[in-house]
Chains A and B, each alone.
Chain A
Amino acid sequence: MASLNVRAALLSVSFLILALGLWEMATQPPDAQTGLTEYEMLMGGAEQESRVPPPSAVIKLAWAELSDPFYDAGANDKGIGIQLAYSVYRVLAGYLAAMVIALPLGFLIGMSPLMYKAMNPYIQVLRPISPLAWMPLALFIIQDSDASAIFVIFICSIWPMLLNTAFGVANVRQDWVNVARTHELGPLRTAITVILPAAAPTILTGMRISIGIAWLVIVAAEMLVGGTGIGYYVWNEWNNLDLASVIFSILMIGVVGMLLDLVLGKAQKLVEYKE
């Protein structure tokens, strides 16, 4: 009996083959035996119904795109690598800005019940707002589409980080804080040497949720602001009716999102501890 991993991999591959096969069969053009009608000849033999492209066409396109991901042939024709790089750059910029605010603020809220009570109403009102709802205001105030997209990422990734940091810090075991107290550590050293490592797994969980949300939101944000980025690319290829490119970019969004999550997952492993 093969190991569980091998069996799971085999099953995965067979699902993939089955799905691709069904997709391929379902999207074949109809047989051309009957010859073209007069109308069809007038239309230059084009099909009347637009069809989802078969996987073979998507794979062919993917191969072409991935073999030269960074070409730049003008505003509307850039390689997939460049588009993804723009999106990743915006996500990281907004995400890092959110980190700079959320982690210290989360510490403050977590360590001080007063601050928690004072800030909580604002957090509860601001948190459920769809990040895209900020877009018009951001565009008006910032007057720059790129910076507005980054702001939207900032505003959507700040909440999970803030809340998880506050929660993690507030729930550090009193025993460990007492250890710091009996060793006469000052507030700053206590925060760095005891509370930070103790709360780190919870904080990283928040950061991991944030990066996932940020990657979800960037696609929508770029569809709105346009210009560059994977979101814009998807919308642009839809306007071009190039569905093979749309499907290809959807897959790429998934792959990059997975990679971002993987990195945060690894970081989470690093700070984890067993009690």
Chain B
Amino acid sequence: MSKSFLEVDGLSKTYPDGQGGDLTVFGDIRFALDKGEFVCIIGHSGCGKSTILNVLAGLDEASAGNVVMNGKEIKGPGLERGVVFQNYSLLPWKTALNNIVFAVRARWPEWSREKVKEHSEHYLKMVGLDHALNRKPSQLSGGMRQRVSIARAFATQPELLLLDEPFGALDALTRGVIQDELVSIWQETRQTVFMITHDVDEAILLSDRIFLMSNGPNARIAESVKVDIPHPRARATIFQNPAYHKTRDYLVDFLVNRSGSASPEKDGTPRIVEPASDAGHSIPADADPESEAAAHAARA
């Protein structure tokens, strides 16, 4: 493992369990991201997805292991990593525009006032909010707030974008619209994105690869599923691609039947799976036959 854009090596997080021992939420997490990749991570609640993301963001510290980005170890938060939080985290006393200006000014302190404003407006326009520049977050709907939050993250042009279930609190319609917007922004910028989601369809629509986490405690990133559908994708047509259904079935099967027992390769890296390839995929050999049978039944 070398020369990847982002390398995560042996990350684990333990908490005292209150009885003198330690509780390992996740252990020995190993993966690498290439530049320009869009990767989603899916797993059941409590497996520590958010903690992994926060460690990448520098907001939380892992108990062991390290993260190296561009050859430098990540210690603490930084502007080269942008974060979109599930609860938007806009500053409520600032207007939509000023929330972005705040970020842009922090990123490029040497820019003139006009340049900062122009740049910020451009990104608000990208998410279709040029009519709401001067509204405060409390005057925006949940979807609009999340758009501002996404615009803020993209506006600072971070090398790595971290999205923590950005659409979790939105209704299905709004979610769909913003997903499309995210697809088109990413199409334009091709930033490296690491995103947590609970939504299998969302993951297939957006990502190049999908990490599947086994259940906690001691959760692992068990598999890395390749999404073999060409970009640009559109929400309305993606389901016509046969790879879509194969991938979706595989993900659902994992989450329903195998997330409890799945494990990564012996060296700790996720098993690479290509559900849409002709060779098909093989259920890991060490999976117990019962759940394997259930998995086949679910897919049939």
Contacts and interface: CB of A to CB of B under 8 A. Distances in A.
Interface in A168-201: 175-176, 178-179, 181-185, 193-194, 197-198, 200
Contacts of A184: 77-79, 106
Contact of B85 (A178, A200, A274): A178
Interface in B49-98: 57-59, 76-79, 81-83, 85, 87, 89, 91-93
A198 B93 contact: yes
Contact of A175 (B78, B87, B107, B137): B87
Contact of B91 (A197, A200, A271, A274): A197
B52 to A, nearest CB: 16
Contacts of B77: 178, 181-182, 184
Contacts of A275: 92, 137-138
Contacts of B58: 181-182
Contacts of B85: 175, 178
14 contacts: A176-B91, A178-B59, A178-B77, A181-B76, A183-B79, A183-B102, A183-B103, A184-B106, A197-B91, A197-B93, A198-B93, A273-B92, A274-B92, A275-B137
B106 A185 contact: yes
B102 A193 contact: yes
Contacts of B93: 197-198, 200, 271, 273
Interface string B199-240: 000000000000000000000000000000000000000000
A179 B153 CA distance: 10
Contacts, number: 54
Contact of A181 (B59, B82, B87): B59
Interface residues of A, number: 18
Contacts of B76: 181
Q: In the complex, which range does the number of interface residues on chain B fall in?
A: 20 to 34
B99 to A, nearest CB: 9
Contacts of A194: 91
Contacts of B136: 273-274
Contacts of A175: 85, 87, 89
B105 to A, nearest CB: 9
Contacts of A178: 59, 77, 83, 85, 89
Contacts of A271: 93
Interface in A218-275: 271, 273-275
A273 B138 contact: yes
A36 B79 CA distance: 94
In order of increasing CB-CB distance, the 5 nearest A-B pairs are A274-B138, A183-B106, A273-B93, A175-B89, A181-B77
A182 B138 CA distance: 23
Interface in B28-55: none
A179 B58 CA distance: 12
Contacts of B106: 183-185
Nearest to B85: A175
Contact of A182 (B81, B87, B91, B137): B81
Contacts of A198: 91, 93
Nearest to A176: B91
A274 B78 CA distance: 29
B92 A182 contact: no
Interface in B100-140: 102-103, 106-107, 136-138
B89 A183 contact: no
A193 B91 CA distance: 10
A273 B95 CA distance: 11
A274 B138 CA distance: 6
B107 A183 contact: yes
Given A182-B77, A193-B102, A274-B138, 4 more contacts: A178-B59, A183-B106, A183-B156, A275-B138
A53 to B, nearest CB: 52
A176 B138 CA distance: 15
A181 to B, nearest CB: 4
Interface in A48-67: none
A200 B92 CA distance: 12
Nearest to A183: B106
